[in-house]
Structure 1
């Protein structure tokens, strides 16, 4: 599989897919940690801390990263047009998800309502987890963008090759 003039081997694409799967598993585990953290809050004077990203389950969106990584690995082994298009569309979906999740995390970190003293430690720890997750979004975006660019150029080259072979057949007949 090539990317423009540079060559990216299928083993490198497998590595991109595996890293994507690992990022997805990391996000799902962090959402589970946040679930345990926020479920253990005690109702205080000011209520409990339930941030926007926790309510929307943005770390649970890591399932899309896992599925996309699995399709990326499979598309590198079986380079059919259908698999390449499926992996490409899932990677584009992952790019959209990372932009939305990063935006929601930035909004969450920018606005902090005060919580009761009992829940302050849990809220502070949850915000730190959100900050850590914020650093993993550009990595996921970069992996998805890299694969998308390479698969688009590969699909374009395959289409040009098939068009050339059709024109060669037609010219040889006449």
Structure 2
């Protein structure tokens, strides 16, 4: 298999986890900025601008990045704990799914723009720019999660091969 040849050091894994945590904090802070931005809208003739990503709270999905990054750092420090590695792998796969969904929702939001009242146009325009910036950070999170998932798969695969070889050696030594 292709993933068995992948190798990454524990210090590089810690760096991946820390970057994941920073991206998660960034997404949560940007969602808070959007919350303040959209809560300050004045009810105009055409209504207020409430985009799809804001309503769904996709910025708060950054919490999954934070939790996954924390488990990734923890798993890098304790590489002998198989359950911690599996948990970090599962959370990184969840991050991949969350990233794909959030990026899709952001693209849908940016593709459709309903006109808003003149008073709220500046806030809507700034909110759309924030969504564009977040759209560029999703591939980074996707790449980090995918890299860790591949390397974690490799590490778990090597661990299983080692355990199978040791069982075979024990059986052969008894005969």
Scaled by the length of structure 2, the TM-score of the pair is 0.97
Counterpart position of 2:31: 31
Counterpart position of 1:160: 161
How many Å apart are 1:7 and its aligned residue? 3.2
Which aligned pairs between 1:8-19 and structure 2 lie closer than 5 A? 8-19=8-19
Q: Distance in 2 between matches of 1:103 and 1:6?
A: 29
For the 8 Å contact 2:6–2:151, the answer to whether it is kept is no
For the 8 Å contact 2:48–2:116, the answer to whether it is kept is yes
For the 8 Å contact 2:24–2:66, the answer to whether it is kept is yes
Q: Distance in 2 between matches of 1:111 and 1:31?
A: 20
Q: Distance in 1 between matches of 2:30 and 2:131?
A: 9
Counterpart position of 1:96: 97
The gaps in structure 1 that reach 5 residues or longer are none
Scaled by the length of structure 1, the TM-score of the pair is 0.97
The gaps in structure 2 that reach 5 residues or longer are none
Counterpart position of 1:64: 64
Q: Distance in 2 between matches of 1:73 and 1:141?
A: 17
How many Å apart are 1:8 and its aligned residue? 1.4
Q: Distance in 1 between matches of 2:72 and 2:6?
A: 19
Q: Distance in 1 between matches of 2:97 and 2:7?
A: 26
Alignment: residue pair count: 172
For the 8 Å contact 2:68–2:91, the answer to whether it is kept is yes
For the 8 Å contact 2:4–2:154, the answer to whether it is kept is yes
Q: Distance in 2 between matches of 1:5 and 1:23?
A: 28
Q: Distance in 1 between matches of 2:162 and 2:168?
A: 10
Question: After TM superposition, where is structure 1 displaced by more than 2 Å over at least 4 residues in a row?
Answer: 3-7
For the 8 Å contact 2:4–2:157, the answer to whether it is kept is no
How many Å apart are 1:6 and its aligned residue? 4.8
